[in-house]
Amino acid sequence: MAPGDLNLLESGDSLRQPLTGIRVLDLSGELGVYCGKLLADVGADVIKVEPPGGDTMRRIGPFLDEADTWENSTHWRHYNTNKRSITLDITSDKGISLFRRLADTADVVVESFQPGYLDSFGLGYQHLKDDHNGLIFASLTPFGQTGPYRDYLGSDLVGFAMGGYMYVTGWPETPPNKLWGNQAFQTTSNRAYIAILIAIFHRLATGDGQYIDVSMQEAVATTTEHVNTAYNYTGESAVRCGFRHGGQFVATWQCKDGFVSITTNTQKAWDDLRGWMDRDGMAGDLMEEQYDDRFILRGDHGSHIEELVEAWTLTHTREEITEWGQANHHPWGPVSTASELLDNEQLWDRGFYQKFVDPHTALEVIYPGAPYKMSELGWRLVSQAPEVGQHNNEIYCGELGLSDDELQESINAGII
């Protein structure tokens, strides 16, 4: 058994996942690698096509056990679960011809090169679809395949900036801020995954494949909740306002042991909050009639109220405040720090976290689990990320019909 193939289950109809039988060629970089994982985790046979020597995403840290090797990148390991790996130089003549043979066996291609890059090798959708009407081909790029910025480059940070999410995130006194992690890339992958599933469903009915164009800027711009509607319906751009969400009283307060999120989304929540402050003798003048309306919190009295509320939250713990709120059906909760994420009893109880012994460090590594629970067999973590070219032999010889000599020749020539 190869090191990555842990926990392999026997195949058979009882283990049929939604995308069992769908083959995906994953040529994507950071923008689309999560899309490939999403497809692989629900049963698609996703083949990660790495350049000979290995994908540069393997160099993105932090590294498991802080051991900087080509197999220990937490980034690589997370985003390539359940995939198989082959190496191939798709810029060489032989590589192009091998990729075309692979594409004939595939249902979906996912790529995130600059627009036109694959076309320049004769590997674009236009070149592959003629012999393969059912092919679904998804291109993920920073700005899409058309329009004046189509050739512009886009990191995760730039995606957040151009998509309008960044301008509103942060405090009025700070620069605009991105969300933690590579959420612009992941949002693009999430959107592309939706489009691919739509295309697969359509193909089941008609046999027809199609081309899909996904832009990071648009993926982010349609994920902001209020930025576009605020401008389009009021004529004013939303601004950074820290924890004050959408003019409602959604706030993060400092307490004894960190921060707590309090939402006075109903009149009862506001009355309970000031009632509890009053119980502790800390409501100041907030019990007066002029503060009865919870929408007072949007107005000029905001800072006066904030001072009183925070003076009170500072005398309690996150847990105390959370429990009072939740017991009364208010959506309140603690601001968890990174070090607390693996202590979440609800996530463990539902079997969200998945443990695997890492073959390279022998550590027990925890992975995030299913984003959705389905009563039929849906999401499964079957194998950890592959080693560089781990499945070359299996796929080139076993499935594509290359002889051992042909494979060796291509390896020697640096094509595989």
Partner 1 sequence: MPVSSDVPQLALKGIRVLDFTWIHAGPSATRILADQGAQVIKVESNQALSVVGGPASNTARGLGQRHNWNAGKSSISLNMKTDAGKELARRLVSVSDVVAENFSGRVMPSWGMDFESIAKIRPDIIMLSMSGFGRTGPWKDRVSYGQTLQAWSGFTDLTGFPEFKPSGPASAYSDAVGGMTGAQAVLLALIQRAQTGRGQWIDVSQMEAMSSLLGPLVLELSSNNTDVQRTGNREHYGRGSPHGVYQCQGDDRWLAITVFADAEWEAFSCAVGSPEWAKDDRFSTVASRLKHADELDKLVGSWTADQIAEDAMHLLQQAGISAGVVQTGKDMAEDDPHLRERGIFQPVPDAGGVMRTIERAPYKLTLTPGEVTKGAPEFGADQDFVLREILGVSDEELAEMAIAGAFD
Positive or negative CA dihedral for 341, 18, 209, 87?
A: positive
Give the nearest distance from C-beta 354 to partner 1 in angstroms: 10
Q: Considering the rule CB under 8 A, would residue 268 count as an interface residue with partner 1?
A: no
Q: Which is nearer to partner 1, 174 or 393 (CB)?
A: 174
DSSP type of residue 71? T
Q: Considering the rule CB under 8 A, would residue 167 count as an interface residue with partner 1?
A: yes
Q: Across the strands, what pairs with 174?
A: none
| Nearest alpha carbon to residue 110 among 85, 82, 141 | 141
Q: Which is nearer to partner 1, 105 or 222 (CB)?
A: 222
Binding positions for partner 1, 338-357, rule CB under 8 A: 338-342, 344-347, 349-350, 352-353
Positive or negative CA dihedral for 11, 13, 14, 15?
A: positive
CA 360 → CA 295, 384, 392, distances in Å?
Answer: 56, 11, 20
Q: Considering the rule CB under 8 A, would residue 65 count as an interface residue with partner 1?
A: yes
Selected from 12, 207, 281, 401, the binder of partner 1 by CB under 8 A is 207
Binding string, residues 303-322; x marks residues near partner 1 by CB under 8 A: --------------------
| Nearest alpha carbon to residue 199 among 321, 329, 108, 98 | 108
Q: Which is nearer to partner 1, 359 or 411 (CB)?
A: 359
Q: Total residues contacting partner 1 (rule CB under 8 A)?
A: 159
| Coil, strand or helix at 389 | coil
Residue type, 396: Y
Give me the DSSP letters along 146-213: SSTTTT----HHHHHHHTTSTTTSS-TTS---PPSSSHHHHHHHHHHHHHHHHHHHHHHHH----EEE
How many CB atoms within 10 Å of residue 327?
A: 10
Selected from 27, 106, 123, 199, the binder of partner 1 by CB under 8 A is 199
Selected from 24, 25, 128, 192, the binder of partner 1 by CB under 8 A is 192
> CA-CA-CA-CA torsion for 56, 57, 62, 67, nearest 10 degrees?
-50
Give the nearest distance from C-beta 328 to partner 1 in angstroms: 10
Binding positions for partner 1, 137-166, rule CB under 8 A: 142-150, 152-155, 157-166
Binding positions for partner 1, 227-266, rule CB under 8 A: 227-234, 236-238, 240-243, 245-248, 250, 252, 254, 258-261, 263, 265
Q: Which is nearer to partner 1, 101 or 350 (CB)?
A: 350
Q: Which stretch binds partner 1 (CB under 8 A): 1-9, 47-55, 99-107, 199-207?
A: 199-207
The phi and psi torsions of 411 (rounded to 5 degrees) equal -65, -45
Give the nearest distance from C-beta 296 to partner 1 in angstroms: 16
| Cα–Cα dist 192/218, whole Å | 11
Q: Are 88 and 99 in contact (CB under 8 A)?
A: yes
Q: Considering the rule CB under 8 A, would residue 171 count as an interface residue with partner 1?
A: yes
Q: For tokens 């009053």, name the residue.
A: 278
Selected from 118, 365, 381, 402, the binder of partner 1 by CB under 8 A is 365
Q: Which is nearer to partner 1, 164 or 284 (CB)?
A: 164
Q: Considering the rule CB under 8 A, would residue 193 count as an interface residue with partner 1?
A: yes
Q: Considering the rule CB under 8 A, would residue 178 count as an interface residue with partner 1?
A: yes
Binding string, residues 381-400; x marks residues near partner 1 by CB under 8 A: --------------------
> CA-CA-CA-CA torsion for 35, 37, 42, 46, nearest 10 degrees?
100
Q: Considering the rule CB under 8 A, would residue 324 count as an interface residue with partner 1?
A: no
Give the nearest distance from C-beta 293 to partner 1 in angstroms: 14
The helix or strand, by DSSP H or E, that contains position 254, with its residue range, turns out to be: strand 250-255
Residue type, 337: T
Selected from 102, 213, 274, 381, the binder of partner 1 by CB under 8 A is 213
Give the nearest distance from C-beta 310 to partner 1 in angstroms: 11
How many CB atoms within 10 Å of residue 270?
A: 24
Selected from 51, 54, 115, 369, the binder of partner 1 by CB under 8 A is 369
Selected from 330, 388, 390, 392, the binder of partner 1 by CB under 8 A is 330
The helix or strand, by DSSP H or E, that contains position 87, with its residue range, turns out to be: strand 84-87
Binding positions for partner 1, 74-103, rule CB under 8 A: 74-75, 77-79
Give the nearest distance from C-beta 52 to partner 1 in angstroms: 20
